[in-house]
Amino acid sequence: MSDRLRADPDPAGASGHAGDDERNAVLVGSSSRSDPIVYARDVHKRFGSLEVLKGVSLTVNRGEVVVLIGPSGSGKTTFLRCINHFERIDRGEIFVNGRLVGYRTDARGRLVEERSKVIAKQRAEIGFVFQHFNLYPNKSSLENVTLGPRKVRKLGKERADALGRGLLQQVGLEAKVDVHPAQLSGGQKQRVAIARALAMQPKLILFDEPTSALDPEMIGEVLGVMRDLAREGMTMVVVSHEMGFAREVADRVVMMDDGVLVEEGPPAQIFDAPGHERTRSFLAKLL
């Protein structure tokens, strides 16, 4: 771990949910101790009659690695998808980098959905790594990485290619630059997908079960890349079942169950001395 490369992880964030003071800190945009990139308050989400998120609040500071754990159906992935507005939220609010994500306040003070162009701009600053990679099958590794920089950041081909090659090298795939996803292993695909996310120079990367679709022998290479990113100070929110990774790399582990945040804290606390019975029984089932 290299805390010195990171902005000071917020020790207070370990103890409980974000309060109004923290919210004001976000809006004022100044805080001596914490530097929140993600600030979510009381997020509610339902799919039809199924209430998936029942008021989730979470703050993620710059340079922090937060791992979301919990049983399937607990709302981890849905919450992650709300952070870059892949899902609309029914109540509450999410700020990234001090800006409300996906919504704006109208003249009457109500929240209305932003225009898609504005949302696109917000998403450009938030990387997303998918469980099933979602690489473009009709494009080479390099083209997968450079499409965003070229079309969204409007980089020229040469600059984008140089950037793409550099990133593919960073994830150990300089030999696979011209190869198509069909010819890559699962682990290689996910590393290209991480390079694609990095190419937009995001302030934050969201990982949705990045190793769940991988064969066991390929999990390590992807976690290795993620570990390197964490060392370099990238802010990351990771939905994962890799408890070893969480213990080693996470600054904070967040346990979710049934649409609520059950408890959060440093990995040692959550894994070795969980404060909540649901956390205990969930972890017991994994072992």
Query: At its nearest, how many Å lie between another protein and the CB of residue 70?
Result: 22
Among the listed residues 22, 24, 18, 8, the one whose alpha carbon sits nearest the alpha carbon of residue 64? 8
Q: Does 203 bind another protein (CB under 8 A)?
A: no
List the one residue from 120, 162, 175, 273 that touches another protein (CB under 8 A). 120
- Point out which span in 46-54, 159-167, 190-198, 231-239 binds another protein (CB under 8 A): 190-198
Q: Which amino acid is at 201?
A: Q
In whole angstroms, give the CA distance from residue 222 to residue 209: 11
Q: Which is nearer to another protein, 13 or 127 (CB)?
A: 127
Q: Does 152 bind another protein (CB under 8 A)?
A: yes
Q: Which is nearer to another protein, 147 or 283 (CB)?
A: 147
Q: Does 148 bind another protein (CB under 8 A)?
A: yes
Site for another protein in 39-98 (CB under 8 A): 84, 86
Residue 165, CA distances (Å) to 65, 144, 158, 215, 229 in order:
26, 11, 10, 26, 17
Q: Which amino acid is at 93?
A: E
List the one residue from 6, 62, 76, 123 that touches another protein (CB under 8 A). 123
**Is 166:190 a contact under the CB 8 Å cutoff?**
no
Query: At its nearest, how many Å lie between another protein and the CB of residue 152?
Result: 4
Query: At its nearest, how many Å lie between another protein and the CB of residue 98?
Result: 18
CA 135 from chain centre, in angstroms, equals: 18
List the one residue from 126, 163, 225, 239 that touches another protein (CB under 8 A). 126
Q: Does 100 bind another protein (CB under 8 A)?
A: no
DSSP classification of residue 114: P
List the one residue from 134, 170, 185, 269 that touches another protein (CB under 8 A). 134
List the one residue from 127, 259, 265, 274 that touches another protein (CB under 8 A). 127
In whole angstroms, give the CA distance from residue 250 to residue 263: 15
- Chain position carrying tokens 């609520």: 260
Q: Which is nearer to another protein, 120 or 162 (CB)?
A: 120
- Point out which span in 56-64, 140-148, 224-232, 277-285 binds another protein (CB under 8 A): 140-148
Contact residues for 227 (Cβ-Cβ < 8 A; gap 6+): 245, 248, 249
In whole angstroms, give the CA distance from residue 170 to residue 189: 14
In degrees, rounded to 5, the angle at the alpha carbon of residue 198 between the alpha carbons of residues 102 and 154 is 75
Instruction: Give me the phi and psi of 91, to 5 degrees please.
Output: -155, 160
Q: Which is nearer to another protein, 59 or 84 (CB)?
A: 84
Query: At its nearest, how many Å lie between another protein and the CB of residue 252?
Result: 24
